[in-house]
Amino acid sequence: MAGVICVSNQKGGVGKTTTANAVAMGLKKQGHRVLCVDFDPQGNLSFSLRADNRIQLQNSIYHVMKGELKAVQTIQHTGLADIIPANLLLSGIELEFTGAGREYILRDALRPVLPLYDYVVIDTPPALGILTVNAFTASNAILIPVLSDLFSLQGIVQLHDTIRRIRERSNPDLGVAGVLLTKFVPREQVSAVIRETAGDITARLGIPLLDTFIHSSNVMTKAQILREDMMTYAPRNKAVRDYLLLLDELKAKGVL
Ligand SMILES: Nc1ncnc2c1ncn2[C@@H]1O[C@H](COP(=O)(O)OP(=O)(O)OP(=O)(O)O)[C@@H](O)[C@H]1O
Ligand SMILES: [Mg+2]
């Protein structure tokens, strides 16, 4: 039965999609069966993992959420990954679903495919709306990428509030894999301050700050634009190696 991990932060551009991609590719490289779910109307994960997510597509995560198709009918095998794609249609969900029980739709839809995989990795949009609530309700653990800057760190407090509400209402077992510092530049003087501040904030909230951090590297952007698997595109790159270390850490901590 697959463990479901979701990558989330309501702040934009912090490395959610990159992290979802790298975690999925890393787990696959280690021999695990991985399903990616693009749950962001921007469709960035679909793009970088070579999925077809044109707006005319009749089988995306949107159609699953609407109850028109089963999840298994929407999985694309792209050569890079097994992925349920998303596109702009998904943004309609925020307006279309207002009734009771709307936070359970993704969880219930994914249940039948969980026996087919070891891990499901969900990428989420930069928002705390109904899509994110569905992703949190469907997940065992949340991984929180945070830009290595102070304003980004402050967003963790608001995110943690949402996690608390989800635990009370729709998913009491929701775990926090931890806060992951991304685009980290160790030689910059402020880096030490940022790590320390991140440590203070996470300790106060009672959530883990991961020991692993992700170095800043242009290869992250290049691999995704070229739609390459970063694990084989640049196996010796620092950031790529950081993501493999992250998997080791998450496994050692029993999150994966
Ligand atoms: N470690 C890194 N070093 C340098 N650039 C990075 C790194 N990780 C991600 N990036 C780049 O930063 C940009 C934003 O990353 P990404 O798309 O993963 O963020 P996001 O949180 O998913 O954004 P959004 O909120 O819009 O969904 C992308 O161009 C990506 O290639
Ligand atoms: Mg993204």
- Tens digit of each residue's pLDDT (9 = 90 or more) over 85-117: 999 999 999 889 888 889 999 999 999 999 999
Whether the Cβ atoms of residue 122 and residue 40 lie closer than 8 Å to each other = no
Which pTM does this prediction carry?
0.98
- Cα 229 to ligand 2 centre (Å): 17
Task: Residue 76: give the domain boundaries.
Answer: 3-252
Residues enclosing ligand 1, CB less than 6 A? Answer: 12-18, 40, 42, 44, 126, 182-183, 214, 216-217, 220-221, 224, 239
- Residue 4, pLDDT score: 98
Measured CA to CA in angstroms, residue 215 lies from 14, 102, 241 at distances of: 13, 38, 9
- Residue 81, pLDDT score: 97
- Give the neighbor-by-neighbor strand order of the sheet with 141-147: 76-77, 82-84, 34-38, 119-123, 3-7, 141-147, 175-182
pLDDT band (50, 70, 90) for residue 150 = confident
- Cα 212 to ligand 1 centre (Å): 17
- Return mean pLDDT, the chain: 96
Considering the chain, what percentage of its residues have pLDDT values greater than 70?
100
pLDDT in tens, 174-229: 999 999 999 999 988 888 898 999 999 999 999 999 999 999 999 999 999 999 99
pLDDT band (50, 70, 90) for residue 7 = very high
Tokens standing for residue 177: 């894999």
3 state DSSP class of 65: helix
- Cα 202 to ligand 1 centre (Å): 22
CATH of the domain at 146: 3.40.50.300
The count of structural domains within the chain is: 1
Contacts of residue 173, Cβ cutoff 8 Å, sequence gap at least 6: 140
- Cα 225 to ligand 1 centre (Å): 11
Q: Buried b / exposed e across 158-176, counting CB within 10 Å, b at 16+? A: ebbebbeebeeebbeebbb
For helices 16-29 and 218-225, the axis angle rounded to 10 degrees is 80
Radius of gyration of the chain (CA): 17
The ligand 1 atom nearest the CA atom of 215:
1
